[in-house]
Amino acid sequence: MIRIVHGSVVDQRVDAIVNAANGGLMGGGGVDGAIHRAAGPGLDEECRRLHDEGGCPTGDARLTGAYGISWARHVVHTVGPVFSEHSFEEGARLLASCYERSCDLALAAGDASIAFPAISCGVYGFPLERALPVALDALVPYAVRFDRIVLAMFRRDEFALAREVAREVVRCHDEGDEVVVDA
Ligand code: AR6
């Protein structure tokens, strides 16, 4: 089941929390900063090791522990494309790959639920109305493989826009304050 919700990805009660990271994996602003603050120094330390091993290329992902995010089993760090650095087609391919690689790593680690922020839709400049169809396209094939996939829209206006876009591109219905995709 895929759900679009309003809120921070850090607050989702799931096994795997996905981070919109940068290639260095050493933390940053936006959701990356929020996840590192919530997870604490254990995450910083594990990320430093991944950084020293070369970090993570755009479109790929790396899995770590969740440390201070006590209910989660893992944080999956994925590196979205910077919107202005690619053709739309290439950016969309890289963005889809972020969602797919994150799901693959979480499944391989035994996670039954996963929550994503809107990867690349903040500092990296990918318009949410163009990113969400890419995200949904990538995630629908995984819907049966997880108990729950959550797309967490941090700002109220992002959630409102995501609800509009979802209605245009997939069959879905409202359940309280959430949008459930009928996969
Ligand atoms: N908590 C939860 N979600 C947030 C928060 C927060 N505190 N702040 C922003 N979002 P972004 P990107 C939402 O910019 O575009 C970092 O510095 C935001 O509303 O965090 O992939 C990394 O280190 C948006 O929907 O990620 C990279 O350098 C979503 O998170 C770079 O930013 C993604 O926005 C990655 O940029």
CATH number at residue 150: 3.40.220.10
Nearest to 154 by CA among 48, 49, 4: 4
Closest CA to 14 of 107, 142, 148: 148
Its pTM surpasses 0.85: yes
Q: Is the pLDDT of residue 29 over 70?
A: yes
Counting the structural domains of the chain, the total is: 1
Instruction: Look at residue 183 in the predicted model and tell me its pLDDT.
Output: 66
Structure confidence by residue, pLDDT tens digits, 155-172: 999 999 999 999 999 999
Are the CB atoms for 135 and 99 separated by under 8 Å? yes
pLDDT at 35 over 90: yes
What residues make up the domain containing 115? Answer: 2-181
Closest protein CA for atom 34 of ligand 1: 122
pLDDT-based confidence at residue 70 (cuts at 50, 70, 90): very high
Q: What is d(CA 34, CA 25) in angstroms, rounded to the nearest whole number?
A: 14
Q: Indicate if ligand 1 lies below 6 Å from the C-beta of 162.
A: no
Catalytic-residue membership of 52 = no
Q: Does residue 123 line the site of ligand 1, with CB under 6 A?
A: yes
| C-alpha separations of 102 from 59, 128, 144 in Å | 10, 19, 16
Q: What is the pLDDT of residues 103-133, one digit of tens each?
A: 999 999 999 999 999 999 999 999 999 999 9
